Amino acid sequence: MHEPPHWRDRPQNERLLARECRTCGYVSFPEHRRICKRCQDEVEWDEVRLQERGTVRSYVVQNRLPDEFETPLPLAVLDMPQETDGEPARVYGLFTETEPDDIEIGMVADADLRQLFDINGLPVHSFKFKLPRGER
Ligand SMILES: [Zn+2]
């Protein structure tokens, strides 16, 4: 697993910049693709901005992992709405600072892009989800 180079240079305030397919409305995030996953075609993309708060669509709690990971480790799939209209982006990441029993499908959570660990000195970033402030 290697970090895509665009993460390293990406300014913090652009971290929730996604791409929307002009043909079908599919939102690609965080990948920058030439081919739309849904259209399966080379398409034009518009840059769109995502909100930092999304809705939990699915999750799983990992209990058996290599020693370097703390368990239980919840992983979740969130839909992150755009700041304006259009489809949400579907994002996968770790759920942190939250008891696994408190996670429910349909609840809202905030997303942060964080450096999780490094591989051979290269930082690896991923999403961390947590309950909105005030609900923790
Ligand atoms: Zn498309």
Q: How many CB atoms lie within 10 A of CB 68?
A: 6
Specify whether the backbone of 66 is left (phi greater than 0), alpha (psi in -120 to 50) or beta: beta
Q: Residue 86 C-alpha to ligand 1 middle, in angstroms?
A: 13
Ligand 1 centroid to residue 39 C-alpha, Å: 4
Residue 3 Cα to ligand 1 midpoint, Å, equals 25
Q: Does 10 or 125 have the greater pLDDT score?
A: 125
- Using alpha carbons, list the distances in angstroms from residue 63 to 3, 60, 69, 72, 127: 25, 10, 10, 5, 19
pTM of the shown model: 0.78
- 33: amino acid identity, one letter: R
Task: Give the residue, 69 or 18, on which the prediction is more confident.
Answer: 18
